[in-house]
């Protein structure tokens, strides 16, 4: 009896194992069919696109290389031109600065000369004219005083005693 139970359990295990293997076979077959359908889709849709992209890359590669080379050369030329412009602008600024300094010195010297000339004109012309003006006023005042005092003496006779104080 033990042997029959053992054989029955073993037979059940083998049948169960065969069922599992059959299920796995059917699942793999189903997955295989899905993979085949997917492979067909890839062959019909993706591969032509990849081939087109590859051919475009092959055609565009020389053009892209030329464009990159041109851009590199242009960048180098622009950089050189900017360096020249920078040097020129710096030179113009330096020269302008020197001209401003020269103009400032010239204006300063001119103003100094104008002040000096003004002072000399004042000392040489205005001061003597003022002195002469003062002298003429003094002479005029003296003459007026003399003419008034003669007129007073002739008009009014004042006794000599009254004049004496």
Q: What is the pLDDT of residue 161?
A: 57
To which residue do tokens 């000369």 refer?
113
**Residue 66 and residue 74: Cα distance in Å, rounded?**
12
Task: Give pTM, 2 decimals.
Answer: 0.41
Residues of the chain with pLDDT under 50: none
Tokens of 137: 């006023």
Which pLDDT score is estimated for 125?
82
The pLDDT of residue 102 is 94
77 within some domain: yes
Calpha distance 139→143 (Å, rounded)? 6
Evaluate whether residue 100 is within a structural domain. yes
Per-residue pLDDT at 97: 95
- The three-class DSSP label of residue 156 is coil
Residue 66 belongs to some domain of the structure: yes
4 located within any domain:
no
Q: Would residue 23 count as lying in a domain? A: yes
Asked, for residue 165, whether it belongs to a domain, the answer is no
In the prediction, which pLDDT does 159 show? 56
pLDDT of residue 48: 86
Q: How far is CA 23 from CA 10, 14, 16, 19, in A?
A: 20, 14, 10, 6
First to last CA, the chain: 189
pLDDT attached to residue 71 = 94
Alpha helices in 42-126, H assignment, sequence order: 47-121
**Per the structure block, which two tokens stand in for 100?**
């401003």
The domain of 111 spans 11-152
pLDDT of residue 89: 94
| Assigned domain for 78 exists | yes
Q: Quote the CA–CA distance of 161 and 70 in Å, as a whole number.
A: 126
21: in domain: yes
**What is the C-alpha to C-alpha distance for residues 14 and 18, in angstroms, rounded to an integer?**
6
Instruction: For CA atoms 101, 104, 106, 108, give the dihedral sign.
Output: negative
- The domain tally of the chain equals 1
Question: In angstroms, rounded to a whole number, what is the distance separating the alpha carbons of residues 160 and 165?
Answer: 10
């Amino acid at each position: 009896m033990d042997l029959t139970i053992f054989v029955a359990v073993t037979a059940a295990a083998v049948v169960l194992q065969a069922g599992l293997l059959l299920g796995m076979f059917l699942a793999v077959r189903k997955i295989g069919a899905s993979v085949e359908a997917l492979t067909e889709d890839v062959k019909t849709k993706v591969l032509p696109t990849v081939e087109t992209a590859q051919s475009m890359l092959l055609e565009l590669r020389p053009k892209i290389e030329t464009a990159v080379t041109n851009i590199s050369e242009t960048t180098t030329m622009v950089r050189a031109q900017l360096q020249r412009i920078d040097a020129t602008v710096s030179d113009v600024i330096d020269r302008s600065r020197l001209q401003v300094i020269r103009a400032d010195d010239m204006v300063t010297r001119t103003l100094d000369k104008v002040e000096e000339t003004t002072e000399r004109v004042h000392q040489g012309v205005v001061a003597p004219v003022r002195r002469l003006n003062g002298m003429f006023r003094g002479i005029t005042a003296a003459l007026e005083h003399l003419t008034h005092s003669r007129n007073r003496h002739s008009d009014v006779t004042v006794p000599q005693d009254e004049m004496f104080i």
